[in-house]
Structure 1
Amino acid sequence: MFYYFFESRSSRKDAPVVVWLTGGPGCSGSLALFYENGPFKLTDDLSLKWNDFGWDKESNLIYIDQPTGTGFSYSTSESDIRATSEEAAVDFYDFLQAFFKKHPEYAKNDFFITGESYAGHYIPAFANEVQKRNKLKQGIQINLKGIAIGNGLTNPVIQYKADRDYALSTKIIDKSEYNDLSSSASECQQAAQACASKNSSSACTDAYSTCNSYFSSILDAAGGDINYYDIRKKCEGSLCYDFSNVEKFLNQKNVKDALGVKNIEYVSCSSAVQTAMAGDELKNFAVYIPPLLQNGVKVLLYAGEFDLICNWLGNSRWVEDLKWPGYSTAPSTDFIVDNKKCGLTKGKGPLTFLKVFGAGHLVPMDQPKASLEMLSRWIQGKPL
């Protein structure tokens, strides 16, 4: 399993270890590394420059290409391509064991799992796996302190239902178009609920097809070329952003030689991994959150206000649905950075939700300073 590891720029021996998981499923950690919160930014001439707001300023930082088949992580056996987030969780745990065995000086440091998008599935499952193994006293004990999910897909039944409401509230569709979508919205709801209740591969694969068709209908109603990761922009390319430079950069011979991946062709997102996990997408991973909270693991859910596909409205609704004691009546407060209102936050105890202003799906890319400040306060236990 391929990974990048960057020691904290703070040089603190007790700096926490933060792992970042990119979503997809099947998209490489290199995307976040070079375009979001890594130590470096990739320039148009394929050179690297320091990122003043890299998360390594506050932590030791790991990016992993996972599940197997993603980015530079590969296997010679097709049986190693995972079909569920729970299967991927076992590989993730094995990776952590190997990492901390190789770097025992970090094993006692506070450990946080972060990521975005499909990591809304990964992170709850992975954190649960770590907690389970810790309780069984298996392997090296991992000092899991918190998880943070940005614009994640975690509870699809609630989140898909919110997509149409979000589209109407932001005026990318009108009331007539909203009403026209009611039938396909209902079909998605029924299919998603069937997946949740039956938890079978066939029901969940059917739900994947039905709900993606429904989401495509929303995009068509919104004009077809809208960037569903940031409704302020047009969709350009297969990922709605031009990330082609990272493929050009990582497929250079000298870069591959330096990384020790000479015979692997880098692709930002793996269609094989995405296809394999089609039956996983509509499953509800919010069920893992309450046990984590009850065991003292801090949970931060944050979402950029202009993302459609994993919008803040759907995320806020599934967090409310957790019915965590005291959360529903907790007041919303401003998230202030440099005397500027950068969002709204709500929390109770270990559970926090943050709506980030001026950002789409990729919060650290759109609001780098605010996202670094968010991370800094959160890992230090300060209120946002």
Structure 2
Amino acid sequence: MINKQFSFLILCLLGLTCAFLTEPSFRKRSLKEKYIDNLLNAEGKKSLDFSTQCNNLNLASHFNGTAMSGYLNVGIKNSSSALGFVFFGAKGVPTSQLKNIPTIIWIEGGPGCTSMYGAFIENGPLHVIQESNTTFSFKENSFAWTNDYNVIYIDQPIGTGISHAQKKSDIPIDEDQIAQQFYFALNQLYHSENGCFKQIGINGKETPLFIYGISYAGKYVPSIAQYIVQQGNKLNLKGIGMGDGFTSPYYDVESVNKYSYDHNLITLDQFNKNQIKVQQVQKLVNQTKWLKAKDQFEQLMDDVNPNNLDIYNIQRKEAPDATYLESFVNSKYGQETFSFKLDKTFEICGDLVFEVLSTDYMKEDCVARVEYLLHQEIYVHIYNGNLDLLVPYYTPQLWLSKLNWEKTQQFNKTPLENWSYGNNGTIYGQKQQYDLLNFQIIFNAGHMVTEDQPEAGYHLIKDQINYVLSKQQF
């Protein structure tokens, strides 16, 4: 999610990439109202403890497995800033055996959008249902990634979702700072006596680690993974995955216009006019004029969507209302059930983190990070919904075909074939895989693949992790 502030202050929805052309339904309150709410909500909560901690959750009546939550210090001197998380162990697996199960870190995008969206709306085991203003229940997700794997949903960078930023200056301004803070937090998770993984035995020798995320996490994930590998890969990282990832702003600018024309959203005349703007934005990216490039990209997103469709899924006029997630996390029930600690009003996408990372938004430095990972024998999984206008599947096709990797030519020669799972004959999309690199297109899905097509999303993660496990010895 790339949270965006278009000319009339509109932000990204659902934690996944840019901005909307119309304000999402859960973002109807003004920035001033939210600012006041945050001030009021913070009163009396300054003594909250955000040190590294692990809370065992009693979800026995809802989930057959280990569930935990907590906070992870990010290593800023004289600061309580910390990342918040929810962890679900693989379904039905005893806690003592979780160390033998592949473990996935899930990160949402934004920047500034919560991974609780992934936990409670996308691929987590429990989907939140709001019964009334104060009453909530859970519905089991048949296609949860936790059916087979441990998954930890981490709100990052600090200031996002349930995470805590003591002050604005603590929030990282670029991918290097993000990776450093996240790595410090992971060491707390794995090695601190108060870290959940330390307590249940998940470790960097026996437990294969994968990092997945969507939208703006197309920048987060390779940046964090690169840093882990550069530090000696002591966490046993085996692969990464990015869904509808904003990894390459340069090529995304190009693809949104072509995708819009190919899908009859604009005329040929409009396409040609937009191409001038595309070239202008790409020139600004090459000149490292990040803020000007961001402003013009936002204008281009208006131009490629004249009918004001939901840019996350062009088959919809507007995005689904997700305000119930905010209501749940802000409720007494939600906070008691999951041991959430809030010093602010919880929001799906927050303005502050997006503002701080505004110069990072159009930076073109993460494709090189993917190349580094491939050279270091880390598996890379890229997938996209075919209905996404914000990050069309054209975008990864453009930058993947130009990777500085010794096997790019072989990958490019590999045909894009229909992809299904098992013997049921259901075709979920298309797949192109060669050696360490896998690219998939998911049919009838938009920006949030595991929300729009949960069955396909479940099988794509099994497909990839099974492939990696079959190629490597742990």
- Tell me, yes or no, whether TM beats 0.5: yes
Q: C-alpha distance in 2, partners of 1:180/1:17? A: 47
Q: Following TM superposition, by how much is the alpha carbon of 1:44 offset from its aligned partner in structure 2, in angstroms?
A: 3.6
Question: SS in structure 2 opposite 1:299?
Answer: strand
Cα distance change on mapping 1:262 and 1:349 into 2, 3 Å: closer
Q: C-alpha distance in 2, partners of 1:357/1:333? A: 13
- Is 1:24 the counterpart of 2:127 in the alignment? no
Contact 1:10 / 1:58 at 8 angstroms: preserved in 2?
Answer: no
Q: Which residue of 1 aligns with 2:420?
A: 336
Taking only aligned residues, the RMSD between alpha carbons, in angstroms, comes to 1.5
Q: How does 1:363-374 map to 2 (within 5 A)?
A: 363-374=449-460
Question: SS in structure 2 opposite 1:380?
Answer: helix
Q: C-alpha distance in 2, partners of 1:320/1:249? A: 43
Q: How does 1:276-291 map to 2 (within 5 A)?
A: 276-284=356-364, 285-291=366-372
Q: How does 1:71-150 map to 2 (within 5 A)?
A: 71-101=161-191, 102=195, 103-104=197-198, 105-107=201-203, 108=205, 109-134=207-232, 141-150=234-243
Q: C-alpha distance in 1, partners of 2:280/2:343? A: 45
Question: SS in structure 2 opposite 1:112?
Answer: strand
Q: Which residue of 2 aligns with 1:322?
A: 403
Contact 1:115 / 1:150 at 8 angstroms: preserved in 2?
Answer: yes
Q: How does 1:1-80 map to 2 (within 5 A)?
A: 1-11=83-93, 13=98, 14-45=100-131, 46-80=136-170
Q: Following TM superposition, by how much is the alpha carbon of 1:10 offset from its aligned partner in structure 2, in angstroms?
A: 4.8
Q: Which residue of 2 aligns with 1:192?
A: 285
Q: Which residue of 1 aligns with 2:253?
A: 160
Range with bigger deviation, 106-115 or 71-80: 71-80
State which of 308, 314, 326 in structure 2 corresponds to 1:231.
Answer: 314
Contact 2:371 / 2:404 at 8 angstroms: preserved in 1?
Answer: no
The amino acid across from 2:106 in the alignment is: W
Question: SS in structure 2 opposite 1:31?
Answer: helix
Unaligned runs of 5+ in 1: 136-140, 196-202
Contact 1:191 / 1:210 at 8 angstroms: preserved in 2?
Answer: no
CA-to-aligned-CA distance 1:73-115 (integer Å, 9 cap, x gap): 1122221112112211111111111111222311130000001
Q: Which residue of 2 aligns with 1:313?
A: 394
Q: Which residue of 1 aligns with 2:55?
A: none
Q: C-alpha distance in 1, partners of 2:412/2:245? A: 20
Q: How does 1:368-383 map to 2 (within 5 A)?
A: 368-381=454-467
Q: C-alpha distance in 1, partners of 2:377/2:166? A: 39
Q: Which residue of 1 aligns with 2:17?
A: none
Q: How many aligned residue pairs are there?
A: 364
Question: SS in structure 2 opposite 1:266?
Answer: coil
Q: Which residue of 2 aligns with 1:213?
A: 299
Q: Following TM superposition, by how much is the alpha carbon of 1:25 offset from its aligned partner in structure 2, in angstroms?
A: 0.4
Q: C-alpha distance in 2, partners of 1:17/1:62? A: 8
Q: C-alpha distance in 1, partners of 2:367/2:280? A: 22
Question: SS in structure 1 opposite 2:431?
Answer: strand
Q: C-alpha distance in 1, partners of 2:138/2:344? A: 22
Q: Following TM superposition, by how much is the alpha carbon of 1:262 offset from its aligned partner in structure 2, in angstroms?
A: 5.0
Q: Following TM superposition, by how much is the alpha carbon of 1:369 offset from its aligned partner in structure 2, in angstroms?
A: 1.0
Which runs of structure 1 show a deviation greater than 4 angstroms over 4 or more consecutive aligned residues?
none
Contact 1:159 / 1:318 at 8 angstroms: preserved in 2?
Answer: no
Question: SS in structure 2 opposite 1:378?
Answer: helix
Q: TM-score, structure 1 length as denominator?
A: 0.91
Structure with greater helix share of residues: 1
Cα distance change on mapping 1:163 and 1:277 into 2, 3 Å: same
The amino acid across from 1:250 in the alignment is: V
The amino acid across from 1:58 in the alignment is: D
Contact 1:27 / 1:70 at 8 angstroms: preserved in 2?
Answer: yes
Contact 2:162 / 2:340 at 8 angstroms: preserved in 1?
Answer: no
Unaligned runs of 5+ in 2: 1-82
Contact 2:259 / 2:392 at 8 angstroms: preserved in 1?
Answer: yes
Q: C-alpha distance in 2, partners of 1:293/1:19? A: 19
Q: Which residue of 1 aligns with 2:267?
A: 174
Question: SS in structure 1 opposite 2:109?
Answer: coil
Q: Following TM superposition, by how much is the alpha carbon of 1:323 offset from its aligned partner in structure 2, in angstroms?
A: 5.0
The amino acid across from 1:62 in the alignment is: I
Question: SS in structure 1 opposite 2:310?
Answer: coil
State which of 313, 317, 322 in structure 2 corresponds to 1:243.
Answer: 322
Q: Following TM superposition, by how much is the alpha carbon of 1:186 offset from its aligned partner in structure 2, in angstroms?
A: 2.0
